[in-house]
Chain A
Amino acid sequence: MPTKQPDYYKEFNKGLWKENPVFVHVLGMCPVLAVTNTAMNALVMGVATFFVLTVASFLVSSLRNLIPHQVRISTYVIIIATFVTVVDFSLQALLPAVHKELGAFIPLIVVNCMILGRQEAFASRNPVIISVLDAIGTALGFMLALFILGAVREILGDGALLGIKLFGPQFEPWVIMVLPPGGFLTLGLLLLLFQWFKEQKERLVEHLDKLEAKTL
């Protein structure tokens, strides 16, 4: 069979863990740190980014043969900005409280380098279905990372998750975690943990290879 079937599952799955945009590629840092002071904000931001990335990937991929090469970046940016405007106004209507808290960071989704990166690296060169799957996978990975970060910071800094108190009244909140420094520190430590897991896994694989070589 000469034509290779695209591996849909692989394209979808890679964004979740192996090529997680936040933990592996360290992309889209600004919203990651700025809005993850509570799990709820992180979740809303994740959903907003999910919508923008998926729709933009769909559109860019369907128009990929029509967009002139020289102005492709500007075209992507305008497509992204259009959908961000849609998200901005929808959130303002549906969840005014959260919209107020996220403030300027919803419009700033436009300059999230992860979104533009996916358009340039993937959606502009691949058919529609696979581009959308790639976008969904990447966006879910982004959402997952945001949620982990938001949950850790909210639990440590506020003793709560999604606004529900987890500990008794004697819990002393670690306020610095919901303030800006907490964002840097939490992400730094999470990256460290991620790196450590990766190294442990590599070591395990190496060890198993050695064992196999011995028994053979």
Chain B
Amino acid sequence: MSNLLWIFVSALLINNFVLAYFLGLCPFLGVSQRLDTAFRLGLATLFVMIITSICAWFLNTFILVHAPYLRLISFIVVIASTVQFVEMLIRKLSPALFRALGIFLPLITTNCAILGLAIFSTNKGYGFIEGLVYAIGAGLGFTLALVLMAGLREESALAPVPQLIKGTAMNLIIAGILSMAFMGFAGLFSAS
């Protein structure tokens, strides 16, 4: 149990996918102007991450034992088709949610956090439950980072900043400070 908790907290805070592993930076920098869209994108990513971790476990256990060199290709194909499938499913089941997610849903395919999750959890040799917990932690961590960033950007949008620094440069510096703050979580578990 404590092992699962550790995996969860580690993926959520200490080894946050965005701020410690630099995964999923494209949406992190691209879709963080507004708080509500950032939150929705985070949830959509969480959803795809959970499904991906289940698929990755199945692939690893039943198919890739025989052909480990196909790992990368099969992962990327599975992720792309999963996103496509999830898109169709959501469109059928809940058109309202589909409209809310909009363009972000197909874009999740090229989010390196998803492929990173599959590869990391394979490298760490996680089982089914552990992989699932890892995916939930990572997805929530991604959402957390995205929401924090969007909040900071909304606040700083009206700040009197020199024209030169506005845009990506400032966002990266904000992200750096955020990442520094997250480094503080590294001491969270070392005592126990």
Contact = CB atoms under 8 A, between A and B. Distances in A.
Contacts of B183: 179-181
B115 to A, nearest CB: 5
Contacts of B168: 26, 188, 191
B119 A108 contact: yes
Contacts of B119: 104, 107-108
Most chain A beta carbons < 10 A, residue from B22, B168, B170, B183? B22
Contacts of A182: 176
A116 B76 CA distance: 13
Interface in B14-44: 19-26, 29
A208 interface: no
B164 A196 contact: yes
A180 B20 CA distance: 6
Contacts of B71: 85, 107
Interface residues of A, number: 39
B111 interface: yes
A74 B84 CA distance: 12
Interface residues of B, number: 38
A180 B22 contact: yes
A104 B169 contact: no
A90 interface: no
24 contacts: A26-B29, A29-B25, A30-B23, A33-B22, A74-B77, A77-B77, A78-B73, A104-B119, A107-B115, A108-B23, A108-B119, A110-B72, A110-B115, A111-B76, A111-B112, A113-B26, A180-B19, A180-B183, A183-B176, A188-B169, A188-B172, A188-B173, A196-B164, A199-B164
Given A81-B76, A84-B72, A196-B164, 19 more contacts: A29-B22, A29-B26, A30-B24, A33-B22, A77-B76, A81-B72, A85-B71, A103-B123, A107-B115, A110-B72, A110-B76, A176-B180, A181-B176, A181-B183, A184-B175, A184-B179, A185-B173, A188-B169, A188-B173
Interface of A: 26, 29-30, 33-34, 74, 77-78, 81-82, 84-85, 88-89, 103-104, 107-108, 110-113, 116, 176, 179-185, 187-189, 191-192, 195-196, 199
